[in-house]
Amino acid sequence: MGIERPFWRAIAVFRVASLLYAAVLMAQHRGYAEPLTGWLVIGVMGLWTAAAIFAYSVEALRRWPLLVLDLLVAVACLLSSPYVQGALQQPGEGTMPVPATWIAGPVLAWAVHGGRRLGTVAAAVVAAADLWLRIHGPDAPVLINGAVLLFMTGVVVGHVARLAKRAEERMQRAVEMEAAQRERDRLARDVHDSVLQVLALVRRRGQELGGEAAELGRLAGEQESALRSLFIRPASPPTAGVADLRALLMRYGSAYVTVSTPATALALPGPVAEQTAAAVGAALDNVRAHCGLSARAWVFAESGDGTVTVSIRDEGPGIPAGRLEEAVAAGRLGVSQSIRGRIEGLGGKVSITSLPGEGTEIELTVPA
């Protein structure tokens, strides 16, 4: 990813700076009995520094073979320190190992590549080798400063690198969503100028002509509403496990069904929103079945104190007294199960108001 490039450049600078630091220590001949061997180790470090800087600059090479080899080279150079220091290291001196701070390079690389966990693993390997040298060296205090710094480096750099990667991924998704929305807006303009206008014309003419043309007009109106819903910009991004009931209700809009929702989201848990929308669909099915395919219906949704209420109203003949009880006794469970059962199963309630000749209103209330 592009966000990693500054990290790899910073590690390259660190490798060069730490290599120069190790060379300065070697040039001072402090505590090194075999400086020629030490310069040989410095030469190996220099060659590997150049090779590592080139290899990590190529994204295709940043794989496990390179990471493992980088770690092994650092540990090998670290373990060569006793042969270079020889007998000149006196008890209590705590002479700096030959690679000095150069051994932190692989820890940084592992942390940037895999986050704080892999950074901690690499730090543990290098720190174990460093502590082994100190424990088996001259009788001097075993210092753990280096190990602590290595672990802090692996954890902190790994954590920051992982946060940077996540930020880049989210930014990329935002850019893609914005590009998709711009394309959707462009398509909406084109479709509005062609397909939607034709469908609207067919719907109006079908209603005017009546008969079979009215059915064609109804179908054209449904397709017009469905096509328009594809280009509706969501008011807010979806939240994990939460759905906006408005989007589910808009699918029922057509030439004969008017859906009215508030400007703000009707946020419900996903399963609750789906079951509520399904109950609304069942109520609209009843309108078509008992009032005719061209019957008008209105769906109105609003939010209250911890609840969401959806009402479905029609101008049909109404429900005769005792008709719902007769339907249950006859085994027809459209209202009792598809509507009332769904909503009451969610902890909500259903209210049905109907008078002969004055239509029916079904009110669904669910906890938000």
pTM of the model: 0.52
The pLDDT of residue 90 is 43
What is the predicted pLDDT for the residue at 50? 96
pLDDT score recorded for residue 91: 38
Residue 237 Cα distances to 93, 189, 241, 242, angstroms = 62, 23, 12, 10
Check whether residue 25 and residue 145 sit in a common domain.
yes
Which residue has better confidence, 24 or 212? 24
pLDDT interval class at 341 (50, 70, 90)? confident
User: pLDDT higher for 35 or 230?
Assistant: 35
Q: How many CB atoms lie within 10 A of CB 190?
A: 11
CA torsion through residues 51, 52, 53, 59, sign = positive
Residues 131 and 272 both lie in one domain? no
Q: How buried is residue 131: exposed, middle or buried, by Cβ count under 10 Å (0-12/13-18/19+)?
A: middle
Structure token pair of residue 362: 């079904």
The answer to the question of residue 51 being in a domain is yes
Q: Which of 150, 173, 196 is the last residue of a domain?
A: 173
CATH number reported for the structural domain that contains residue 271 in this entry: 3.30.565.10
Question: What are the structure tokens assigned to 306, written together?
Answer: 């911890």
Residue 347 lies in a domain: yes
Mean pLDDT calculated for residue range 181-187? 76
pLDDT of residue 327: 65
Q: At residue 173, does pLDDT exceed 70?
A: yes
Average pLDDT for residues 28-52, to the nearest whole number? 87
What's the structural domain count of the chain? 2
Residues 100 and 239 in one domain: no
Q: Is residue 226 part of a domain?
A: no
Q: Crossing angle for the helix pair 145-191 and 5-27, nearest 10 degrees? A: 160
Q: Residue 87 above 60 pLDDT?
A: no
Locate the DSSP E strands across the chain.
242-244, 257-260, 267-269, 297-303, 307-314, 349-354, 360-367
Domain extent, residue 143, equals 2-173
| Range with the poorest average pLDDT among 85-99, 110-124, 135-149 | 85-99
Residue 191 lies in a domain: no
Per-residue confidence (pLDDT) for residue 92, from 0 to 100: 40
Give yes or no: residues 169 and 239 share one domain: no
Task: For residue 198, give the H/E element and its range.
Answer: helix 197-209
Q: What is the mean pLDDT of the chain?
A: 83
125/38 same-domain check? yes
Same domain, 163 and 239: no
pLDDT of residue 240: 55
Q: Provide the percentage of residues in the chain whose pLDDT is more than 90.
A: 34
pLDDT at 237: 47
Write the pLDDT tens digit of every residue in 260-310: 888 888 999 989 999 999 999 889 988 888 888 778 899 999 998 889 999
Same domain, yes or no: 15 and 145: yes
Do 24 and 163 lie in a common domain?
yes
Q: Is residue 209 part of a domain?
A: no
CB 33 within 8 A of CB 84: yes
Which pLDDT belongs to residue 302?
93
Report which of residues 335 and 175 the model is more confident about: 175
CA dihedral 37, 38, 43, 46 (to 10 degrees): 160
**Structure token digits, residue 219:** 């179908």
Residue 350 has pLDDT above 60, yes or no: yes
- The string of pLDDT tens digits covering residues 130-153 is 888 878 765 455 567 778 888 998
Domain end residue (candidates: 137, 156, 173): 173
In a domain, 190, yes or no: no
Lowest mean pLDDT among 14-28, 199-213, 278-292: 199-213
Residue 229 pLDDT more than 70? no
Strand partners, 363: 311, 351
- Sequence-distant (6+) residues with CB within 8 A of 284 are 252, 257, 297, 299, 312
Residues 16 and 162 in one domain: yes
What span, in angstroms and rounded, lies between the C-alpha atoms of 17 and 35? 20
What number is the average pLDDT over the span 243-272? 88
pLDDT, position 107 = 94
| 204 has a pLDDT exceeding 60 | yes
Lowest pLDDT segment from 142-156, 189-203, 319-333: 319-333
Q: Which helix (H) or strand (E) holds 330?
A: none
Element (H, E) at 30: none
Mean pLDDT of 79-87: 80
Instruction: Name the pLDDT band for 319 (thresholds 50, 70, 90).
Output: confident
Q: Has residue 199 been placed in a domain?
A: no
Of the three residues 127, 144, 173, the one that is the final residue of a domain is 173
Q: Report if residue 80 sits inside a domain.
A: yes
What is the reported pLDDT for 230?
A: 64
Per-residue pLDDT at 298: 93
